[in-house]
A and B are shown apart, each in its own frame.
Chain A
Amino acid sequence: MIRIYLRNIVRFIVLIFVQILIFENIQLGGNISPYIYVLFIILMPFEITGWALLIIAFLLGLSMDIFLMNPGFHTAATVLMAYFRPFILQTFAPRDGYESGSFPRVYYYGLGWFAKYSIILIFVHHLFLFSLEMFRLSDILHILWRTILNTLISTFLVILSQFFVFRK
């Protein structure tokens, strides 16, 4: 049990640093800004209770905001994403439910399941984040384009992590 806590704390810190030091420094074009730190919420165990998930998401978003200078945006998006997670897990649950001792990873439930699950969560996060940032109805097409483009990139990176980092 303690190992799981410890592993998650390390993962929290590492993901934030990877996001800030690597992905925030890759400036490929005006529209490309993938956020892979949401992987932390995606990988939380199935058994986690609702309040813990929301508060962890709040802290995760807040730590991102502290580094990215404009407070609130990432907090709001990450909390919304955490709110949606139980419903999406329920929708995609296998017939006999999730096995105890398993985690939401490609290794346990296959690539198709994981891709469906993560792309919806990431889409929710990115759509809300970019809408808040731009905050103008006339920019709606631009918001959608940015959301779709970055959702695809982030999901690709998140799935890639399943084959290289979180294999088991």
Chain B
Amino acid sequence: MRTLFRLIVKNYFVLLFLFLESISLVLIFQFNPFQKSFFLNVSRNITASINNRLTNIGDYLFLQEENERLNSENVYLRNQLNNFNTTVYLSYPENFTSDTLDISNEDRYFFKPAEIVNSSINKQYNYITINKGESNQLQANMAVISSCGVVGMIIQTSDNFATIQTLLNRNSRVGAKIKGNDYFGILDWDGRSPEYVQLSEIPVHVNINEGDTIVTSGYSSIYPKDLPIGRIDGYQKGQGNFYNIQIQLFVNFRTINHVMVIRNYLQEEQKELEREVSYD
């Protein structure tokens, strides 16, 4: 016993190091894939309120650019309105063919504009904080888009802020398909470049070309169908009979500062139904 005690005292530096290091490793592996409520709540409440103030300053600096962009979007929307005389749910940039959801979907989705108060692109796990939260009826698992395409989904909300897990997050998984032929795969990020994401599980017999547009598949309750994501930049045959496809994003995460949150009124109902089926 005495020897053991002496050994501990003698090597306390190494032992304390191992102890503290294992606490941090436990933290990493326990919390990362899951909802990290308490960490997120503390950090969001402090940083978001400070960042909110900083963003107010930043907004003035980019006012002109933002105005021009909004203006062109307005013109585009007005044209759409004349052409269809129905509700247009999303404005695409000029290089898109316009798509509208069918009329039955009109009441299903509701769009809420929000402003970004904090964002990052240089991490492996990138998040965006927006200035709308529970008081604006936002909840976790709502899709977030910008005028160019998909941004990510809400993972956590507080009263006045919400945290979005962007496509540039190693935990992000989005169901996506190639526009036109409807083969669908899974979109994730390899953590290398903030301009590119990767699409996997498209079988090699499918005919794909560089420049093809990738849109959401709509097979989850989070993202509505046919939201633009990016275009194919290159592809190669990967493991098995599947392609590894490199996709250039439409959204520029470096300059983004206004987004829209999509609220799906039928999300609960769809989830409920799917849950019942999987129990049977």
Residue numbers of A with Cβ under 8 A of B are: 20-21, 24-25, 27-33, 50-51, 54-55, 57-58, 61, 65-73, 75-76, 79-80, 82-83, 86, 132-134, 139, 142
12 residue pairs A–B, Cβ–Cβ below 8 Å: A20-B47, A21-B54, A27-B121, A27-B254, A28-B122, A30-B193, A31-B122, A58-B20, A61-B24, A67-B43, A70-B31, A80-B17
Report yes or no: A30 in contact with B36, Cβ–Cβ below 8 A.
no
B40, B43, B194, B254 pick with most chain A CB within 10 angstroms: B43
Residue numbers of B with Cβ under 8 A of A are: 12-13, 16-17, 20-21, 23-29, 31-32, 36, 39-40, 42-43, 46-47, 50, 54, 118-125, 127, 163, 190-195, 254
Besides the known contacts A21-B50, A70-B31, A71-B39, 8 further A-B residue pairs in the complex with CB atoms under 8 A apart = A25-B54, A54-B17, A55-B20, A69-B127, A76-B21, A79-B17, A79-B21, A132-B28
Taking the nearest CB of chain A, how far is it from the CB of B8, in angstroms? 12
Report yes or no: B31 in contact with A72, Cβ–Cβ below 8 A.
yes
Report yes or no: B122 in contact with A27, Cβ–Cβ below 8 A.
yes
Question: Which residues of B lie under 8 Å from residue A27 when comparing CB positions?
Answer: 119-122, 254
Taking the nearest CB of chain A, how far is it from the CB of B13, in angstroms? 4
Question: Which residues of B lie under 8 Å from residue A142 when comparing CB positions?
Answer: 191-192
B20, B29, B118 pick with most chain A CB within 10 angstroms: B20
CA distance A6 to B46 in the complex (A): 24
Report yes or no: A50 in contact with B16, Cβ–Cβ below 8 A.
yes
Report yes or no: A24 in contact with B50, Cβ–Cβ below 8 A.
no
Report yes or no: A51 in contact with B13, Cβ–Cβ below 8 A.
yes
Report yes or no: A30 in contact with B24, Cβ–Cβ below 8 A.
no
Report yes or no: B25 in contact with A70, Cβ–Cβ below 8 A.
no
**Chain A residue, CB-CB nearest to B192:** A142
**Chain B residue, CB-CB nearest to A86:** B13
* A72 CB contact (under 8 Å) in B24, B124, B194: B24
Taking the nearest CB of chain A, how far is it from the CB of B217, in angstroms? 26
Question: Which residues of A lie under 8 Å from residue B191 when comparing CB positions?
Answer: 133-134, 139, 142
CA distance A124 to B204 in the complex (A): 43
Report yes or no: A70 in contact with B125, Cβ–Cβ below 8 A.
yes
Report yes or no: A30 in contact with B192, Cβ–Cβ below 8 A.
yes
A73 touching B47 in the complex, CB below 8 Å, given contacts A27-B122, A55-B20, A142-B192: no
CA distance A82 to B17 in the complex (A): 9
User: Is the contact region of chain A dominated by helix, strand, or loop, or is it mixed?
Assistant: helix
Taking the nearest CB of chain B, how far is it from the CB of A28, in angstroms? 8
Report yes or no: B122 in contact with A32, Cβ–Cβ below 8 A.
yes
A76 touching B24 in the complex, CB below 8 Å, given contacts A20-B47, A69-B127: yes
Report yes or no: B42 in contact with A33, Cβ–Cβ below 8 A.
no
Question: Which residues of A lie under 8 Å from residue B194 when comparing CB positions?
Answer: 30
The 8 lowest CB-CB distance pairs between A and B, nearest first, are A72-B28, A72-B27, A76-B24, A75-B24, A50-B13, A133-B124, A33-B122, A83-B17
Question: Which residues of A lie under 8 Å from residue B46 when comparing CB positions?
Answer: 67
Report yes or no: B36 in contact with A133, Cβ–Cβ below 8 A.
no
Taking the nearest CB of chain A, how far is it from the CB of B171, in angstroms? 10
Question: Which residues of A lie under 8 Å from residue B43 when comparing CB positions?
Answer: 66-69
CA distance A132 to B32 in the complex (A): 12
Question: Which residues of A lie under 8 Å from residue B254 when comparing CB positions?
Answer: 27
**Chain A residue, CB-CB nearest to B22:** A76
A50, A51, A71 pick with most chain B CB within 10 angstroms: A71
Report yes or no: B125 in contact with A69, Cβ–Cβ below 8 A.
yes
Report yes or no: B20 in contact with A79, Cβ–Cβ below 8 A.
yes
CA distance A71 to B122 in the complex (A): 17
Report yes or no: A79 in contact with B47, Cβ–Cβ below 8 A.
no
Taking the nearest CB of chain B, how far is it from the CB of A19, in angstroms? 12
CA distance A37 to B153 in the complex (A): 31
CA distance A86 to B13 in the complex (A): 10
Question: Which residues of B lie under 8 Å from residue A57 when comparing CB positions?
Answer: 20
**Chain A residue, CB-CB nearest to B196:** A30
Report yes or no: A51 in contact with B39, Cβ–Cβ below 8 A.
no
**Chain B residue, CB-CB nearest to A51:** B16
Question: Which residues of B lie under 8 Å from residue A65 when comparing CB positions?
Answer: 27, 39
Report yes or no: A75 in contact with B13, Cβ–Cβ below 8 A.
no
Taking the nearest CB of chain A, how far is it from the CB of B66, in angstroms? 18
**Chain B residue, CB-CB nearest to A132:** B28
